[in-house]
Amino acid sequence: MSEEFKVEIVNPEKSFLSKEDVTEVIVPAFEGEMGILKDHISIISFLKPGIITINSKSGEEKFFVEDGIVEFKDNNLSVLTSSIFNLKDVDRNKIKDLIKTAEDEANKAEINDQARFLVNQKIDVLRSIN
């Protein structure tokens, strides 16, 4: 029996990625990293800033996301996100820019605890891939 399922990543502007031969996806769900294999129970969750890892026959791919929603149903995994990029394609300077804007945001006085947590998380992840 095949152990593959379908994953689709869409952002508001276009369908970002669609793959049929995926064996495992690790998403940074809000309450911790979550690995999804075939025949996972139907689930809806949302993402915190982190790395999505997609393991497929053609190898491993990693993407950075800032936020989003994941839905898994009938062996279809949909990820809706407004900001995503492939770690392969991104250059150092862009990451540095992102870290800088995130840090500026973190230093603002008026943000609440949840936003602060998310921003800090983002900074950590960005630093780790830099």
Partner 1 sequence: MASLDDLKKRIASVKSTQKITKAMKMVAAAKLRRAQESAEKGRPYSKKMNNIILNLSSGISDKENAPKLLSGSGNDKVHLCVVMTSDRGLCGGFNSNIIKKARSYFAKLAEDGKDLKIITVGSKGNDQLKRAYGDKIIANISFKESKHANYFDAEKVGKIVIEKFGAEEFDVCTIFYNQFKNVITQIPQAQQIIPLNVENLEEEKSGDSYEFEPDEDEILSNLLPKNISTQIFKAMLENSASEQGSRMSAMDNATRNAGEMVDKLTIEYNRSRQAAITKELIEIISGAESL
How many residues comprise the chain?
130
Measured between alpha carbons, how far is 99 from 19 in angstroms, rounded to an integer? 30
Q: Report in angstroms how near the CB of residue 92 gets to partner 1 at its nearest.
A: 23
Look at strands 76-80 and 5-10 and give their pairing: parallel
SS3 state at 114: helix
The footprint of partner 1 on this chain (CB under 8 A) covers a number of residues equal to 23
Q: Is 42 in the site for partner 1 (CB under 8 A)?
A: yes
Q: Which of 2, 12, 91, 92 binds partner 1 (CB under 8 A)?
A: 12
Give the angle subtended at the CA of 98 by the CAs of 130 and 84, to the nearest 5°. Answer: 85
Q: Please say whether the beta carbons of 64 and 84 come within 8 A.
A: yes
Q: Which of 3, 62, 69, 127 binds partner 1 (CB under 8 A)?
A: 69
Q: Which of 4, 10, 23, 85 binds partner 1 (CB under 8 A)?
A: 10
Binding residues (CB under 8 A) for partner 1: these are 8, 10-15, 29-31, 34, 41-46, 69, 71, 73, 78, 80, 82
